[in-house]
């Protein structure tokens, strides 16, 4: 039960982080648009545009040191592995 709560907490934090990252992209793009309307584009604003488009094209993922993603697929894998292990143990006891 505590493992489920830990995974659920991690998944919720990653979801909140994804939402915040998407909001950040929108804010960055709005700042760039404000300066673009006034024709005040310089080198720093072009870099801001680059960062904005990179954030838009890159999906934010949380992983365990790059080995596997921390999301609902992890919980599914843990439950499937535990069920398989229990079935094997029950069959070996007979």
Does residue 13 contact residue 44 with C-beta atoms inside 8 Å? Answer: no
What's phi and psi for 17, nearest 5 deg?
-65, -40
Structural domains counted in the chain? 1
Measured CA to CA, the distance from residue 91 to residue 26 in angstroms comes to 55
Measured CA to CA, the distance from residue 19 to residue 9 in angstroms comes to 15
pLDDT in tens, 42-63: 777 778 778 778 877 877 777 7
Domain that holds residue 67: 2-93
Please state the pTM of the whole predicted model. Answer: 0.48
**Which is higher by pLDDT, 17 or 30?**
30
């Amino acid at each position: 039960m505590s493992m489920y709560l830990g995974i659920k907490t991690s998944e919720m934090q990653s979801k909140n982080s994804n939402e915040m990252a998407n909001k950040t992209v929108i804010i960055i793009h709005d700042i760039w648009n404000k300066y673009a309307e006034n024709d005040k584009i310089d080198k720093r604003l072009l870099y801001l545009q680059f960062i904005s488009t990179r954030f838009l094209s890159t999906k934010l993922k949380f992983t365990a040191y790059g080995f596997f993603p921390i999301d609902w697929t992890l919980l599914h894998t843990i439950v499937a592995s535990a069920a398989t292990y229990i079935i094997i143990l029950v069959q070996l006891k007979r």
